[in-house]
Amino acid sequence: MNWILLFIAGIFEVMFATCLGKAKETTGTETYLWYFGFFISLLVSMLLLIKVTQSLPIGTSYAVWTGIGAVGTVLIGIILFKEPVDFWRIFFLTTLILSVVGLKTVSH
């Protein structure tokens, strides 16, 4: 169950990074709505991370949480914000995914 919560916390990390990116692209009231989404996503992500670290090692939890956030944010950047895609970006993204899976595999 803790690994599922950690994954959800990572998804909320992606959401708060996405909200920051969208807030940068907007003006007026819409900007404040994106910042509100940022704060809610940040709060949920942190609360879930706190809960998970009560049962899983902090080093593993944090590494997996940031890994999920990094991979998800790069993918959102490519899809939503039209960031460039090249071989090295995909290569290192793949190694990051393999590292997260490896940490899950070797953690008890």
Question: Which domain range does residue 23 map to?
Answer: 2-106
Task: Check residue 107 and give its pLDDT.
Answer: 82
Q: What is the domain count for the chain?
A: 1
Beta strands in 1-108 (DSSP E): none
**pLDDT tens digits along 6-58:** 999 999 999 999 999 999 999 999 999 999 999 999 999 999 999 999 999 99
The pLDDT of residue 95 is above 90: yes
Burial 32-59 (b: 16+ CB within 10 A, else e): eebeebbeebbebbeebbeebbeebeee
What phi, psi does 107 have (nearest 5°)? -85, 145
The answer to whether 38 and 18 are in contact (CB under 8 A) is no
Element (H, E) at 61: helix 58-79
Arithmetic mean of pLDDT, 101-108 = 86
Distance CA 85, CA 98 (A): 19
pLDDT at residue 96 greater than cutoff 80:
yes
pLDDT digits (tens, 9 = 90+) for 56-86: 999 999 999 999 999 999 999 999 999 999 9
Per-residue pLDDT at 16: 96
**Whole-number pLDDT of residue 104:** 86
Task: Give the other-Cβ count within 10 Å of 100's Cβ.
Answer: 21
